[in-house]
A and B are shown apart, each in its own frame.
Chain A
Amino acid sequence: MPSVILNHTILKGYLNEKDSVSIDGTFIGDIKAEEIIVNNLGNINGNLNASANIEVNGEVVGDLSADKIHLTSSAKVRGKLFHKNLVVDEGAQVEVVARTRNKISNLNKE
């Protein structure tokens, strides 16, 4: 069952989820999941680590690592990206260092 964190919710700490996580609230800390979706009102200060994909519509400050990273037009991202596939839509505000890797799973262990 996926996790959903709505607007007006603040979480501080470490979240580990086997399924997907969808965030519309504020999260301070690291997230590890299969899939992470940061929605428009989502605000994250920490590292995101997904085994499948990360989609960002909101704001993220921290490192992102996933097989597929999608930054949509409303995304604001600052940090490092580790990915196999990267998609950045027109309008996304980014301040990032991006690195393409063949195997992301090894990177995550570091």
Chain B
Amino acid sequence: MFFNSNKKNDSSIDGFSHLGEGSSFEGEIHCKGEIEVAGKVKGNISAKCLTILETGKVTGRVNAEKVEILGCMIGNTDSVNVHVGEKGVVRGDLRFELNLSVAEGADILGHVHKAKKDKNKKVDTEKVKYLEHNQAS
């Protein structure tokens, strides 16, 4: 239809959401794409890709597939890949599944650990192997 001609396709996400330097947000964020934070955020964030820019400050829990911390992050981070930039400040735990990279100069205070999401499955397979081994002998 004539009206819909300049509407964007619902399924496509181009680029990333951005919270500007002069912004402050309090509450929850759920993002299926990429999000960049240059302002202040208080609250939990779940996203596919999160970048906290140098001027950004996040206070809360973060759950994402990829997290880049170039600014300030206070709270626990749970992600597949984590990168902390040279001006990055982290106060809280970092839990990652695959990769962690930390640039020289980063300031981290908290637990850093590699953990798999499917913990139970892993335990189960090990148990099965153990049982199978016992039966064989």
Contact = CB atoms under 8 A, between A and B. Distances in A.
Interface of A: 1-19, 21, 24-25, 29, 40-41, 73-74, 91
A11 to B, nearest CB: 5
Contact of A5 (B6, B10, B17, B38): B17
Contacts of B38: 1
Given A4-B18, A6-B33, A41 B26 contact: no
Contact of B27 (A4, A11, A18): A11
Contacts of A16: 23-25
Given A9-B32, A41-B7, A1 B17 contact: no
Contacts of B21: 1
A73 B6 CA distance: 13
A40 B7 contact: yes
A49 to B, nearest CB: 14
A15 B22 CA distance: 11
Contacts of B108: none
A20 to B, nearest CB: 8
B13 interface: yes
B130 interface: no
Contacts of A13: 25-28, 43
Interface string B13-50: 11111111111111111111101001100010000000
Given A1-B38, A11-B28, A12-B28, A6 B13 contact: yes
